[in-house]
Amino acid sequence: MKYDIKDIKLAEKGSKRILWAEKEMSVLKQIRERFLKEKPLKGKKISSCLHITAETANLAIALKGGGAEIYLCASNPLSTQDDVAASLVEHYNIPVFAIKGEDNETYYKHINAVLDIKPQITMDDGADLITTILLGRKDLLRDIIGGTEETTTGVMRLRAMAKCKALAYPVIAVNDALTKHFFDNKYGTGQSSVDGIIRATNILFAGKVVVTAGYGWCGRGFAMRAKGLGAHVIVTEIDHLKAIEATMDGFEVMPMKEAAKKGDIFITLTGSLNVIDGDHFSLMKDGAIVCNSGHFNSEINLKTLRDMSEFVKNVRDFVDEYTLKNDKTIYVLGEGRLINLAAAEGHPASVMDMSFANQALSVQYLVENCVSLENIVYVVPEKLDNEVARLKLNSMGIKIDALTEEQEEYLNSWQSGT
């Protein structure tokens, strides 16, 4: 079996992490048990480009249990848990091509390695796999029946592909399932980004001014958790509606040029480019901490920061100190890559449970419905989304009411008013 990981001797530690995560992934576990019996993915080859974590390992094990042959590579050069990668290879016979800290060239070499199996299904987190196929490996399109996409940024790229008719096979936007972004993006990113900043710096949030760029689902989650820790949170936005929402949620809203002067900690969660740029760095306080939790490391203009700096040195794991020519220092965490996976362990298993249950059910849906699907971006069918919610609630031991016949009739009628 071919693979490329850091060190196979890390497998025992990785195995413990996979089992620990499994305890919180009860929906995925139920799907895995059904897959083991029914084998709905029998003979299907899946190339998967996800963050290589204990939670992803549980997804891969479920898909393999369903009869698929699955190859994994990382969806970010800095998010791989090397011990988990080792355990997948050693204990589960799942080929992994991912090493934490790999350079860009190796990152793409690994993407190409998982594509060499000629997949029928692609599974992306950020759309690098499908982009690699469309830009240079179109020969693979013959075998592909469909794909899935995990994250907001990836779905944005897919919609751009679909708009210019470049999308060459159907893709299900797992991100857009309610049981994904309501929880993973909000509570997952909220907690794990705070966790990443704290693990990298051991900084106290209470009393700090925290600038959150972007008030989408991820920004909302982060702002909420930073406030909960006692920070004064400022939100920056480009969307009027989200700016009103942030204001009514109790946050101060202002342009980045004003926020730059006030912040102690900055985080970008926008999916956009150069949200923190040269003119912002020059306005920042001495000792400001800057990080990103969006998918790509494009939200902070690090090239400009480097050009503005006299020197850069690493002062702690995941903390680089930039000394500017005006003698101020700015600290950048995790090289501007997603801080929750670079310096911490990503979202907790309990939310990834729902995200990856959607992934598993979406793959089964693609296998069963591929003949009738077009080359467009699909949302996860409502029935599957609801089923994930039902199973999750059930596993949490929470019961809810059901409509009475009378209520159902009332809600489906229009005649009775005041």
Task: Candidates 51, 64, 295, 392: give the one binding ligand ADE (CB under 6 A).
Answer: 51
- Minimum Å gap between C-beta 50 and ligand ADE is 6
Piece of the chain touching ligand ADE by CB under 6 A; list 245-253, 287-295, 345-353, 402-410? 345-353
Site string for ligand ADE, 270-309 (x = CB under 6 A): ----------------------------------------
DSSP string, 238-290: S-HHHHHHHHHTT-EE--HHHHHHH-SEEEE-SS-S-SB-HHHHTTSPTTEEE
Alpha helices by DSSP H, 128-216: 128-136, 152-163, 178-180, 189-201
Site string for ligand ADE, 186-205 (x = CB under 6 A): --x-----------------
Q: Read out DSSP for 341-406?
A: HHTS--S-HHHHHHHHHHHHHHHHHHHHHGGG--SSEEEPPHHHHHHHHHHHHHHTT-------HH
Does the protein bind ligand ADE through residue 347 (CB under 6 A)? yes
State both tokens at 216. Answer: 């989408």
Binding of residue 55 to ligand ADE (CB under 6 A):
yes
352 φ, ψ (degrees, to nearest 5):
-65, -25
Question: Which of 15, 26, 48, 56 is close enough to bind ligand ADE by CB under 6 A?
Answer: 56
CB neighbourhood size of 279 (10 A): 12
Q: Are 206 and 183 in contact (CB under 8 A)?
A: no
Q: How far is CA 389 from the centre of its chain?
A: 19
3-state secondary structure of 324: strand
CB of 252 to ligand ADE, least distance (A): 28
Dist. CA 403–CA 251, nearest whole Å: 38
* Nearest to ligand ADE of 158, 253 (CB atom): 158
> Applying CB under 6 A, which of residues 346, 358, 362, 364 lies at the interface with ligand ADE?
346
Q: Which stretch binds ligand ADE (CB under 6 A): 48-56, 226-234, 292-300, 400-408?
A: 48-56
Between 188 and 214, CB nearer to ligand ADE: 188
Instruction: State the nearest-atom distance from the C-beta of 175 to ligand ADE, in Å.
Output: 11
Q: What's the length of the chain?
A: 418
Looking at 39-47, 164-172, 266-274, 346-354, which segment touches ligand ADE (CB under 6 A)? 346-354
Residues that bind ligand ADE (CB under 6 A): 50-51, 53, 55-56, 188, 341, 346-347, 352
